[in-house]
Structures are given as structure tokens and as C-alpha cells.
């Protein structure tokens, strides 16, 4: 092997969704030409990285693999391994891990902890209380609608906006009596009104460096109707959020958290994702996630012109991002999610997917989420609720949006669900 080939870093990406596919792609564009591994990955990621058949919650197995493979960097996609301490285990073994320690990941793992930290750091957030039985929960409610949040991880299903007492009672019983997500308390929180914004920052324990803003569409149907999902589409940037506004928002929602976590001896490394509501009284934080958002990442990373490998590596070192300015493409990115029949309640699987090559041929980026390769004939079939993402870039929101829809319409499978109004808001505002 030539010395240049020898010097290629080896990177393991942990996860199996569209977010991880987008991370693999961004790393693949790095000048360092990293050798890419992904655990467990999916049939789309398999085209771009060597897959390791290790589940995301197998902390020992993932750390062993990273060690045996001599990985220079492990990028942890989902929250479950972060909350379970994968970054700690890798750090203990001397392997650079992109993602927070278990102690810092509590910002996502516990809503109560997140609220306490927001209050201590002076971050604006809705008024709340914490309860552990149904009667106290009902007594804590002063007006409807009210927001009820299960305190632990619940795969995006732990937040209920109750319109009346009957709905509140049902949600509290589901969380605290039926224990749908296991034992845990409930945060009772005032309901905020406004537009939502996802603002992600790369953090090196000392500093938060804001990435491009994005907007996510949480509901399954057009016009924000129907049940919440993991996200049905996204776009970036966001009209009205220019560089100055971004800096102002990040100083309000990211840096105080990074400062406080550092003071407490649990420095935050990785992505700090602030879910923000732009209320009439200003920006308020709804929640923190401790990882890249999905599907926001599929819209944000294709716009990143800075070197993803250098950035993610730097963020693992205390203060490693000092002097870093992120460079993003001036254009727009629109990401559409193609979901399976029955999603989000009971997604149907095993349907054959057609048109993947045709969609990619037009220059759109197709990332895989819930797909599998059928053993009998190698066909790509649906294997989860959110099946595929299609991202297109363009000089305007309208161009990116049209290209994303043109590509998405080339892909088909039984019962395909695709919202028709993703990024329409951005197009309308840009032309207003």
C-alpha cells in the first residue's frame, strides 16, 4: 500500500437510518478520503460503506468492533447508544467518539433534567412541573391545551398535547399507570404557540458552532394534520433566519448549555440540537436532542462545504473547534420522506421498491432508512416506517422543491406515503 493509502483514516458510523446515510455521504466527500464502516447500516449505506452487523444498543459489541478495526473516529447517530454510554466506553478505550457522554446525553434522555439545565442556564423555556401520579398531574394543569412529556426516551412518542381533561387523563394513565415506556415521571408543560425551528450546533465541550437552520414537518398529513411522526420532510435554510439571527439564537440556546455542562464537569461534545418555538415573546426551547436530527440532517449536510471528517474529529477534542467557521452552500435543500403504508401506527413492510436508480439519475440524493434486501432475489423492499429520503439542492427553494418531488415521484412501493406540501412555506415566503 502507498503511504497515502495507509494514511486514510477509518471511521465507523453507528446507526441504520437516512441520517446515518447522509453522514456517511458527507464523510465520503472529505479530503481525508476516510475508509467508511457502518453498524448496522442498510442496503443504501452498503453502497458507500462496509457494514458491520452489530445492533445500535450493543455497546460492548460496537466498542469491540471499533477497537478491532482500529477506527480513528466513531460517529454515533442515534440517541439510544449515546444515553447508554457508547461514547464513554469508546473514550475509555482511547477511541475518538463523536457524540456526548451518557451524563451529557441526559439532555435528551430525561426531559426533567433538560428542563432543570435550561432553567439553570437561563434558557427561555415553557413553565413546567414534574409529577409521578395521575392525580398530581391533573392538579398541576391550569389550562388547556397542555403538554405532557414522558421523562425518558420514547422514540418520539412521549409527547402528548392534550386538548381537554379527558385527553390529559388518558395520557397520564398511559405514561404513569400502563407505563407504556416503562417507569418514569411526567413533565407537565405550558403549550407554546408559534413556528418551530431546528437549530443544530457542533460542540467541542467548550464552544457551540451553529450549523445551518432547518425546518422539520412532524405530522403525517399535509397541512400538519394527523399524528406525529419521526419527521416527514425538511428544508434548509429557513427564510428570515440569516447569519445574524443564527448567531443570536445560538448564543441564546446553545452556548449557555455548553458552558453549564462544562462547569458541571460533564462537557458536551457532539451535536446539540435545539428544538425552538418562535413565539410572540421570542424564541423558546421545546427540547434538546443530543444528536443530528432526522430528517433535518439529510437537508443540512448536503449543503455543508466544510470538511465533515475534520469537523467531527475536531469536536471530539476539548476546544478542538476553536476558530472554526462552517461553510454552507448558499442554495437550498429540500428533503422528502417516503413512508410505508400504515406509518406511523403500524407500518407495513416487505413491499418491493422501484425507481431508485431513476430518482438518483436526476441528481437527487436518495438516502435509505427503513429498507432491506430480500434474501430470495436481492430486491430492495420496505422494512420500516420511514423508508427513504429524497434530497434535492437548488439555487432557490422552488427549484430544490420541484427537483425533490420529481425524483420522489419516480420511486414507488405499495402504500407509499409522501406529503405534498413540504417546503411550500419556504417557496411562498421567498417569493413574497
In the list ligand GLY, ligand AMP, none, the entry touching 286 (Cβ below 5 to 8 angstroms by class) is ligand AMP
Cβ nearer to ligand AMP, comparing 156 with 355: 156
Residue ranges binding ligand AMP (CB under 6 A): 126, 147, 156, 159, 161, 189, 191-192, 196, 218, 275, 286-287
In the list ligand AMP, ligand GLY, none, the entry touching 231 (Cβ below 5 to 8 angstroms by class) is ligand GLY
DSSP secondary structure code for residue 327 in this structure: -
Bridge partners (DSSP) listed for residue 334 = 235, 392
Please report, to the nearest 10 degrees, the dihedral formed by the alpha carbons of residues 352, 356, 358, 361 taken in order.
-170
Regarding 289 and contact with ligand GLY (CB under 6 A), the answer is yes
CB 37 within 8 A of CB 50: yes
Cβ nearer to ligand AMP, comparing 55 with 161: 161
Stretch that binds ligand GLY, among 43-51, 145-153, 287-295, 403-411 (CB under 6 A): 287-295
Stretch that binds ligand GLY, among 40-48, 238-246, 291-299, 331-339 (CB under 6 A): 291-299
Burial of 305 (0-12, 13-18, 19+ CB in 10 A): exposed
Cβ nearer to ligand GLY, comparing 231 with 347: 231
Pick out residues in 183-222 that bind ligand GLY (CB under 6 A): 216
Bridge partners (DSSP) listed for residue 146 = 162, 190
Taking the complex as a whole, the smallest distance from the CB of residue 287 to ligand AMP amounts, in Å, to 3
Stretch that binds ligand GLY, among 3-11, 53-61, 290-298, 424-432 (CB under 6 A): 290-298
Closest CA to 231 of 105, 364, 339, 367: 339
Cβ nearer to ligand AMP, comparing 202 with 286: 286
Q: Residue 293 and residue 231: Cα distance in Å, rounded?
A: 9
For residue 266, CA distances in Å to 66, 104, 367, 430 come to 24, 6, 34, 42
Count of CB atoms within 10 A of residue 126's CB? 17
Taking the complex as a whole, the smallest distance from the CB of residue 69 to ligand GLY amounts, in Å, to 28
Closest CA to 339 of 219, 188, 177: 219
First to last CA, the chain: 57
In the list ligand AMP, ligand GLY, none, the entry touching 293 (Cβ below 5 to 8 angstroms by class) is ligand GLY
Query: What string of DSSP letters covers 11-73?
Result: EEEEE-SHHHHHHHHHHHTSTT--EEEEEE--TTGGGTSEE----TT-HHHHHHHHHHTT-SE
Taking the complex as a whole, the smallest distance from the CB of residue 362 to ligand GLY amounts, in Å, to 25
CB 208 within 8 A of CB 288: no
The residue with its CB nearest to ligand AMP is 287
CB 254 within 8 A of CB 201: yes
Regarding 293 and contact with ligand GLY (CB under 6 A), the answer is yes
DSSP secondary structure code for residue 214 in this structure: B
For residue 243, CA distances in Å to 172, 282, 296, 368 come to 41, 17, 18, 31
In the list ligand GLY, ligand AMP, none, the entry touching 192 (Cβ below 5 to 8 angstroms by class) is ligand AMP
Cβ nearer to ligand GLY, comparing 15 with 137: 15
In the list ligand AMP, ligand GLY, none, the entry touching 294 (Cβ below 5 to 8 angstroms by class) is ligand GLY
The residue with its CB nearest to ligand GLY is 293
Pick out residues in 294-313 that bind ligand GLY (CB under 6 A): 294, 296
Taking the complex as a whole, the smallest distance from the CB of residue 156 to ligand GLY amounts, in Å, to 6
Regarding 231 and contact with ligand GLY (CB under 6 A), the answer is yes
Bridge partners (DSSP) listed for residue 149 = 159, 187
Taking the complex as a whole, the smallest distance from the CB of residue 296 to ligand GLY amounts, in Å, to 6
Taking the complex as a whole, the smallest distance from the CB of residue 363 to ligand GLY amounts, in Å, to 25
List interacting residues with ligand GLY (CB under 6 A): 216, 231, 289, 293-294, 296
Amino acid at each position: 500500500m502507498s503511504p497515502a493509502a495507509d494514511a486514510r483514516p477509518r471511521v465507523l458510523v453507528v446507526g441504520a437510518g437516512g441520517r446515518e446515510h447522509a453522514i456517511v455521504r458527507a464523510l465520503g466527500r472529505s479530503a481525508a478520503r476516510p475508509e467508511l464502516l457502518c453498524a448496522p447500516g442498510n442496503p443504501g449505506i452498503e453502497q458507500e460503506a462496509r457494514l458491520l452487523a452489530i445492533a445500535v444498543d450493543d455497546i460492548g459489541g460496537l466498542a469491540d468492533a471499533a477497537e478491532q478495526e482500529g477506527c480513528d473516529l466513531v460517529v454515533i447517530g442515534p440517541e439510544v447508544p449515546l444515553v447508554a454510554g457508547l461514547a464513554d466506553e469508546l473514550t475509555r478505550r482511547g477511541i475518538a467518539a463523536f457524540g456526548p457522554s451518557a451524563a451529557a446525553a441526559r439532555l435528551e434522555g430525561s426531559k426533567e433534567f433538560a428542563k432543570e439545565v435550561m432553567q439553570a442556564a437561563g434558557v427561555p423555556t415553557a413553565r413546567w412541573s414534574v409529577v409521578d401520579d395521575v392525580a398530581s398531574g391533573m392538579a398541576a394543569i391550569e389550562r388547556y391545551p397542555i403538554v405532557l412529556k414522558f421523562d425518558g426516551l420514547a422514540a418520539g412518542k412521549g409527547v402528548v398535547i392534550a386538548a381537554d381533561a379527558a385527553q390529559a387523563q388518558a395520557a397520564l394513565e398511559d405514561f404513569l399507570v400502563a407505563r407504556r415506556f416503562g417507569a418514569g415521571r411526567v413533565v407537565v408543560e405550558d403549550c407554546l404557540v408559534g413556528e418551530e425551528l431546528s437549530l443544530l450546533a457542533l460542540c467541542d465541550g467548550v464552544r457551540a458552532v451553529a450549523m445551518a437552520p432547518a425546518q422539520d414537518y412532524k405530522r403525517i398529513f399535509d397541512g400538519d394534520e394527523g399524528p406525529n411522526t419521526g419527521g416527514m420532510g425538511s428544508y434548509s435554510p429557513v427564510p428570515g433566519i440569516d447569519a445574524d439571527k443564527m448567531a443570536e439564537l445560538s448564543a441564546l440556546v446553545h452556548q449557555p448549555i455548553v458552558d453549564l455542562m462544562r462547569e458541571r464537569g460533564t462537557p458536551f461534545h457532539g451535536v446539540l440540537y435545539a428544538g425552538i418555538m418562535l413565539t410572540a415573546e421570542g424564541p423558546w426551547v421545546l427540547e434538546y436532542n443530543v444528536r443530528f436530527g432526522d430528517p433535518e440532517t439529510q437537508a443540512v449536510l448536503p449543503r455543508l462545504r466544510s470538511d465533515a471528517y475534520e469537523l467531527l474529529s475536531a469536536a471530539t477534542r476539548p476546544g478542538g473547534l476553536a476558530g472554526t467557521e462552517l461553510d454552507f452552500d448558499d442554495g437550498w435543500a429540500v428533503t422528502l420522506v417516503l413512508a410505508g403504508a400504515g406509518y406511523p401506527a403500524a407500518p407495513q413492510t416487505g413491499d418491493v421498491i422501484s425507481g431508485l436508480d431513476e430518482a438518483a439519475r436526476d441528481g437527487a440524493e436518495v438516502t435509505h432508512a427503513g429498507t432491506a434486501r430480500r434474501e430470495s432475489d436481492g430486491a430492495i423492499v420496505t422494512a420500516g416506517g420511514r423508508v427513504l429520503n429524497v434530497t434535492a439542492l437548488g439555487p432557490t427553494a422552488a427549484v430544490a422543491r420541484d427537483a425533490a418531488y420529481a425524483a420522489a415521484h419516480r420511486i414507488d412501493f405499495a402504500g407509499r406515503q409522501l406529503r405534498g406540501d413540504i417546503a411550500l412555506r419556504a417557496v411562498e415566503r421567498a417569493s413574497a
